[in-house]
């Protein structure tokens, strides 16, 4: 990354950072997409089993990775302030606490899942698929947590194309392995939905190996020597890093857990509703990769500019992000309104699930617009390392407003399961309004600090 002058140069640098992030995120979501499609073509039970597993897994997995992503604004601000000599130590300490997080995550899953699944009153086959899918997936947790430290290290320097290349190698491998284990090829037994967990665990380990190769063989990363002369554990540094990372992870947990919670509430409406809801959420998540990639790009570029005390440049990047997300998501929403039935048919062959899924996709249009406002604001605030208020606003908008509204609409109106989607949309919109107000406050505070 470098200092830029004018909107044209900023737009060029914005897209240089953005496009690899977008391709990376889209590739990662492609795994979930193909898993959903493959499971849906095996049986409703396999689709539902993977769906419940994903709804239990992703809120916690995403939040733990969110904690690690706190490294990105920290490293990008140091890089912008020309204090690169401090970065290697931060990455090495990141290895330590990421391993501790990984061990805690695996232990939490092994202890909690056997007690949670019976409470959901799933069909026996669905419960079996869910438990074994999660069991095999847990094998890849420790490797992907260390890999995430390396990925944030790379991205914070603006070399997002390198993590894109790593992902472009691992995702086809993941899809291929999942297909082999789910359908039983090359002499392997057909594990059904459980096979997705086996293939994913292998791929997560491969992801770590490729990231290690990048940081040990390529400039400027090999010059940091992140695997040499590992220092002692520095709890004071842990406290500083986790002080940024934990609020980010907690915010992600609020967002992802509410979607997971809604997915679990859907179990009350039967397997067909669960399957349709999961397919609709999977499609929405794929489209969400646009505002998410913009958010991640803003964290890097805003952090870089804030570190160099160029606040006007940071504001210009934020303005560019708004134009991009509205145009992109708006275009996709128009296509979705025309091809809902075709999308539903692609996800499942079930005549019972297809019409329900078509209805959910209508609400997905409004969800996409709400996300296009919310996500970039979060990325900008993370670039300023303003994370604590963002977390409190997430609790307010999602759990205090969004979920209760959705539950009330589902329980006391004719919307039924669609009421939860309305609640989610309302929560995201309210969150975006609050984040906009907070961003303006943070920008004013930063400007007054620079003047002093």
For the stretch 321-344, pLDDT in tens is 877 777 777 777 777 777 767 777
d(CA 66, CA 87): 19
- Both tokens of residue 81? 């302030």
d(CA 284, CA 296): 18
- Contact present, 304 and 84 (Cβ < 8 Å): no
Residues whose CB is less than 8 angstroms from the CB of residue 315 and which lie 6 or more positions away in sequence, other chains included = 443
216, 249: one domain:
no
115, 54: one domain:
yes
Residue ending a domain, choose from 194, 213, 233: 233
Query: CA nearest 210: which of 247, 252, 262, 173?
Result: 173
- Contact present, 207 and 148 (Cβ < 8 Å): no
Query: CA nearest 246: which of 390, 140, 374, 376?
Result: 390
- Contact present, 77 and 386 (Cβ < 8 Å): no
d(CA 180, CA 38): 11
Tell me whether residue 213 is exposed, middle or buried, using C-beta atoms within 10 angstroms of its C-beta: 0 to 12, 13 to 18, 19 or more: exposed
179, 219: one domain:
yes
Within 10 angstroms of residue 450's Cβ, the number of other Cβ atoms is 11
439, 366: one domain:
yes
287, 398: one domain:
yes
Percentage above 90 pLDDT, the chain: 5
Residue ending a domain, choose from 208, 233, 258: 233
Q: What is the CATH number of the domain that holds 248?
A: 1.10.357
Residues whose CB is less than 8 angstroms from the CB of residue 272 and which lie 6 or more positions away in sequence, other chains included = 44, 350, 352, 353, 356
137, 174: one domain:
yes
Within 10 angstroms of residue 74's Cβ, the number of other Cβ atoms is 23
276, 359: one domain:
yes
- Quick one: DSSP state of residue 218? S
103, 199: one domain:
yes
Helix, strand, coil percentages in the chain from 3-state DSSP, rounded to 5: 85, 0, 15
Tell me the Ramachandran region of residue 38: left when phi exceeds 0, alpha when psi lies from -120 to 50, beta otherwise.
alpha
Residue-level pLDDT at 2? 65
259, 363: one domain:
yes
d(CA 358, CA 338): 11
Question: What stretches of 308-417 show up as alpha helix (H) in DSSP?
Answer: 311-338, 340-347, 353-383, 388-394, 403-412
- Tell me how many helices (H) and strands (E) the chain has: 16, 0
189, 317: one domain:
no
106, 70: one domain:
yes
Number of domains in the chain: 2
d(CA 424, CA 243): 28
d(CA 2, CA 10): 10
The model's pTM: 0.74
d(CA 261, CA 358): 21
Residue-level pLDDT at 99? 92
Alpha-carbon Rg for the chain in angstroms: 21
Within 10 angstroms of residue 448's Cβ, the number of other Cβ atoms is 9
Residue-level pLDDT at 210? 92
Angle (CA) 331-332-337 rounded to 5° is 105
Query: CA nearest 155: which of 14, 2, 21?
Result: 21
Residue ending a domain, choose from 233, 255, 285: 233
d(CA 345, CA 338): 14
Q: Residue-wise pLDDT tens for the chain (452 aa)? A: 566 677 778 778 878 887 887 777 766 666 666 766 777 777 778 888 887 887 778 778 878 888 888 888 888 878 877 777 888 888 899 899 999 999 999 998 889 888 888 887 778 888 888 888 888 888 888 998 999 899 889 988 878 888 888 888 888 888 888 889 888 888 888 888 888 888 888 988 998 999 999 989 988 888 888 888 888 888 888 888 888 888 888 887 877 777 777 877 887 777 778 878 877 777 777 777 778 888 888 888 888 787 777 777 888 888 878 777 777 777 777 777 777 677 777 776 677 777 778 877 778 778 877 877 888 888 888 888 887 888 888 888 888 888 899 888 888 888 888 888 888 888 888 888 888 888 888 888 777 766 55
Residue-level pLDDT at 96? 92
Q: Domain of residue 405: give its range.
A: 239-451
Within 10 angstroms of residue 127's Cβ, the number of other Cβ atoms is 18
155, 291: one domain:
no
Residue-level pLDDT at 31? 65
- Both tokens of residue 63? 């939040």
d(CA 94, CA 71): 8
């Amino acid at each position: 990354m470098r200092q830029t002058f004018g909107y044209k140069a900023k737009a060029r640098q914005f897209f240089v950072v953005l496009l690899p992030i977008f391709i990376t995120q889209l590739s990662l979501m492609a795994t979930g997409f193909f898993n959903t499609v493959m499971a849906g073509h095996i049986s409703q039970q396999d689709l539902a089993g993977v769906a419940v597993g994903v709804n239990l897994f992703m809120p916690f997995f995403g939040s733990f990775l969110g904690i690690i992503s706190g490294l990105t604004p920290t490293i990008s601000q140091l890089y912008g302030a020309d204090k690169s000599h401090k970065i290697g130590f931060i990455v090495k300490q990141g290895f330590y606490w990421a391993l501790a997080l990984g061990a805690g995550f695996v232990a939490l899953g092994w202890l909690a899942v056997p007690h949670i699944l019976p409470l959901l009153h799933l069909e026996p086959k669905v419960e079996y698929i869910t438990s074994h899918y999660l069991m095999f997936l847990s094998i890849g947790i420790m490797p992907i947590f260390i890999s995430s430290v390396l990925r944030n290290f790379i991205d914070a320097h603006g070399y997002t194309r390198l993590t894109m290349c790593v992902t472009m190698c691992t995702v086809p491998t993941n899809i291929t392995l999942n297909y082999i284990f789910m359908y039983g090829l090359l002499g392997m037994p057909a594990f059904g939905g459980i096979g997705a967990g086996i293939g994913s665990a292998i791929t997560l380990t491969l992801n770590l190996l490729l990231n290690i190769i990048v940081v040990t063989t390529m400039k400027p990363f090999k010059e940091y020597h992140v695997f040499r002369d590992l220092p002692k554990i520095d709890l004071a540094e842990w406290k500083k890093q986790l002080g940024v990372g934990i609020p980010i992870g907690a915010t992600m947990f609020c967002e992802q857990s509410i979607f997971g919670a809604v997915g679990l509430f859907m179990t009350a409406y039967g397997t067909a509703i669960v399957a349709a809801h999961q397919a609709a959420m999977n499609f929405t998540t794929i489209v969400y990769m646009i505002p998410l990639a913009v958010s991640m790009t803003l964290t890097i570029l805003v952090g870089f500019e804030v570190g160099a005390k160029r606040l006007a440049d940071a504001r210009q990047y934020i303005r560019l992000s708004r134009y991009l997300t509205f145009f992109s998501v708006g275009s996709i929403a128009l296509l979705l309104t025309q091809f809902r039935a075709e999308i539903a048919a692609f996800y499942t062959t079930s005549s019972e699930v297809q019409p329900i899924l078509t209805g959910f996709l209508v609400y997905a249009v409004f969800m996409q617009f709400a996300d296009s406002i919310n996500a970039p604001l979060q990325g900008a605030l993370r670039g300023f390392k303003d994370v604590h208020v963002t977390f409190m606003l997430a609790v307010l908008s999602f759990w205090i407003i969004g979920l209760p509204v959705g539950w009330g609409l589902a329980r006391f109106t004719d919307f039924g399961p669609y009421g939860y989607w309305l609640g989610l949309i309302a929560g995201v919109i309210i969150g975006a309004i609050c984040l906009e107000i907070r961003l303006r406050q943070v920008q004013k505070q930063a400007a007054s600090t620079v003047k002093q």
